[in-house]
Amino acid sequence: MRTQVGIVGAGPAGLMLSHLLHLLGIESIVIENRSREYCEARIRAGLIEQWACDLLRETGVGARMQQEGIYHEGIKLRFGGALHRIDFKQLVGKGVTIYGQQEIVKDLIAARLSAGTQILFEVEDVTVHDLDGKKPKIRFTHAGKEDEIGCDFIGGCDGFHGICRPSIPDGVLTAYDRDYPFGWLGILSESPPPDDELIYCYHERGFALYTMRSPALARLYFQCAPDTDIENWSDKRIWEELHLRLGGARKLAEGKILQKGITPMRSFVTEPMQHGRLFLAGDSAHIVPPTGAKGMNLAFADVRVLSRAIGEFYRTAKSEPLDRYSETVLPRVWKAQRFSWWMTQLLHRFPHESAFDRRRQLAELDYLATSRAAATTLAENYTGLPMA
């Protein structure tokens, strides 16, 4: 097989990269080790920054999001026994949209297949080769047969555990990471969410987040130990903990728990995000704790820059934008890391913290609730920093 850009990974980064390249008249082939059914059912984050919503609409894959997504003009912070609203629309004139990542994946897959792009699911034994040359290759097994994609560039969009980043020679990349001493126990419940906006709770037992996927589907989380065994948490015990941490600030309706699991918390960035003709995007290059809701938005920001750089190469034969890919996207990545870390340290209980630490957190939360300047900083970062 031969194409212009070979893309490893059919998550939001890989599919959006293929979509944006198609709009520029550039061909791509996407390969994915999971099945289509798995990709379209995998529950992940569902908060979309304002600019990313605009991108989906402007590129023709946002119709269902516009119809089914839930637009939010703010969030609520719960601490000290009360709710405090941060009004994004008033502060920065923007909001965010709740629309499940799996729904975006469905929309992008449908768009790519409708346009005739090849997406090969359930591939195995993927390797990348000749990254330093002008004709890199992707080798893999599909339907029991060995195959190869010859291409001009490779988009490494295969996630944190993928093969692209580890294929870069030793000594090229520098990794920066931080593991957090807690995780999130999360559920998807067949019940209405307790509020029409997200509620971020600071509680003596630990953080909790009350969000939604639709008016009838609640997505609820609470801080837990990183080695928590989900089997030790019955549905009854989960609901009791969620009620406790919400503290009666809103009525929490119980419903059938459709999914439950533990999400580990970590921060990770690799620099640079490229080597030769392999370019990393999304989770293959960086991971953020979910407190700041930046993962998918960062993936879209990466591929927006990458697709334009590839387009410039084919249009003018200039490689400078591609050469500068890492230095272009990494400032945004690090700002998202800073914000996600800040939200995490603000709202979570850490082991070995002192009474001083807890009082400092409460003081900062009170500052957010009472200072327009502080609330504006949160709103600007939460709804999405401007795109160049």
What are the pLDDT digits (tens) for 179-222? 999 999 999 999 999 999 999 999 999 999 999 988 999 999 99
- For the stretch 308-348, pLDDT in tens is 999 999 999 999 999 999 999 999 999 999 999 999 999 99
143: closest CA among 14, 39, 35? 35
- For the stretch 280-318, pLDDT in tens is 999 999 999 999 999 999 999 999 999 999 999 999 999
Residue 198: half-sphere exposure toward Cβ, Cα within 13 Å: 27
CATH topology of domain 5-46+100-173+272-343: FAD/NAD(P)-binding domain (3.50.50)
Catalytic residue among 12, 19, 22, 72: 72
Catalytic residue among 19, 22, 294, 348: 294
Read off the pLDDT of each residue in 115-141 and give the average, rounded to a whole number.
97
236 labelled catalytic: no
335 labelled catalytic: no
Q: What angle do CA 151, 156, 158 make, to 5 degrees?
A: 125
72 labelled catalytic: yes
Residue 225: half-sphere exposure toward Cβ, Cα within 13 Å: 7
290 labelled catalytic: yes
Catalytic residue among 94, 136, 290, 325: 290
- Write down the pLDDT at residue 42: 83
Angle between helices 372-383 and 325-347 (to 10 degrees): 130
Q: Is the pLDDT of residue 388 over 80?
A: no
Boundaries of every domain in the chain:
5-46+100-173+272-343, 180-265+352-383
Listed in order, strand segments (DSSP E) in 3-48 are 5-8, 28-31, 47-48
User: Given this structure, which CATH class describes domain 180-265+352-383?
Assistant: alpha beta
> Between the CA of residue 317 and those of 7, 133, 310, 311, what are the distances in Å?
21, 16, 9, 9
> Between the CA of residue 85 and those of 94, 96, 345, 360, what are the distances in Å?
15, 15, 20, 20
Three-state secondary structure call for residue 250: coil
89 labelled catalytic: no
- Give the predicted TM-score (pTM) of the model: 0.95
- Write down the pLDDT at residue 256: 97
Three-state secondary structure call for residue 237: helix
- Write down the pLDDT at residue 264: 92
- For the stretch 182-191, pLDDT in tens is 999 999 999 9
- Write down the pLDDT at residue 195: 96
Q: What angle do CA 308, 137, 269 make, to 5 degrees?
A: 55
